[in-house]
Amino acid sequence: MIIRPRRLRNSQSLRKMVRETRVAASSLIYPMFAMEGENKKEEISSMPGQYRYTVDRLTDGIGEAVDSGVDKIMLFGIPDEKDAHGSQAFAEDGIVQKALAEARKNFPDLYLITDVCLCEYTSHGHCGMLHSHDVDNDSTLPVLARTALSHVQAGADMVAPSDMMDGRVSAIRTELDKNGFYNTPIMSYAVKYASAFYGPFREAADSAPAFGDRKTYQMDFHNSREGIREAILDVKEGADIIMIKPAIAYNDMITKVKEVISVPVATYSVSGEYAMVKAAAQNGWIDEKRIVSEMAIGAYRAGADIYITYYAKELAQYFKEGFIG
């Protein structure tokens, strides 16, 4: 036998040399939840180890992330008051706006990304304006643009629209540019599927739709070419980074999208992925560290440049130890 693939697997040092996928903590983003109130840190019951923080306690959570080597966070807000138009999303003293100010004050070098959406802020829990039972696309665009601008004015380094309205990237880009923020990047949740994997998040953010589902705006999971279309459209509208979401069960889309666009590709390992792994790990049924590592490397191997995950702190640690990476 001349050709023996096992030759290059013979030692850890050799295996490391020939690795095809190399990763670094600089590509990790940690999602965090801010809520109204004082001095509270509430564990999310379906996501053990993840919390909702009041603004004054947010520093505890961010500090842990920074200590572990994560220097980018994505902020979600849980307002006290919701209305039909989601007006707390762009309020100057809104929850995300306050959280941004606090984070910036305590961590001047932290890279702050915000999720731009209305579902946490609307009384009906949909991601846009309702016209009877229809989520209206075009009247939602100015609200999203205004929300993105208010995040940037409050200190966000990057905005990430997740609503899946058509034309939102262009609307946000125009609004940011008009106000001089032409250097603030947009990471678009471009290839976002209507997925049961978001279940725990909706508990965490209190954002489940009051009626119906999100299938008229989020994508049908049977489709692949449609995802490529969404990615190309968003790049044309000015998206600087394209996201695929969820990550698990959608790694094929990471590879396909990466082939046709030339901006960086991110993927979001969402709440349901975290909840499943955590639950099985707590039961002693799986090896959490190895499962988390394989899921992450699977996403990077598929082509992800950026990985958004509730396991960011642990992964940063695994990279540091050389367990993976």
Q: Indicate which residue of 82, 98, 245, 258 is catalytic.
A: 245
Q: How far is the CB of 2 from ligand PBG (least distance, A)?
A: 49
* 237 interacts with ligand PBG by CB under 6 A: no
Q: Which is nearer to ligand PBG, 248 or 291 (CB)?
A: 248
Residues 171-210 that bind ligand PBG (CB under 6 A): 198, 201-202
* 230 interacts with ligand PBG by CB under 6 A: no
Q: Is 245 a catalytic residue?
A: yes
* 140 interacts with ligand PBG by CB under 6 A: no
Residues 262-321 that bind ligand PBG (CB under 6 A): 270-271
CA distances from 119 to 46, 81, 142, 194 (A): 19, 12, 15, 14
Q: How far is the CB of 69 from ligand PBG (least distance, A)?
A: 21
The CA distance from 316 to 78, in Å, is 27
Q: Which is nearer to ligand PBG, 46 or 325 (CB)?
A: 46
* 30 interacts with ligand PBG by CB under 6 A: no
Q: How far is the CB of 274 from ligand PBG (least distance, A)?
A: 7
Q: Which is nearer to ligand PBG, 117 or 304 (CB)?
A: 117
Tokens representing residue 185 in the block? 């990047």
Binding region for ligand PBG (CB under 6 A) out of 56-64, 85-93, 115-123, 277-285: 115-123
Q: Is 236 a catalytic residue?
A: no
How many other β-carbons are positioned within 10 Å of the β-carbon of residue 108?
Answer: 7
State the residues that interact with ligand PBG by CB under 6 A: 115, 117, 119, 127, 162, 198, 201-202, 214, 270-271
Which residues are known to be catalytic?
Answer: 192, 245
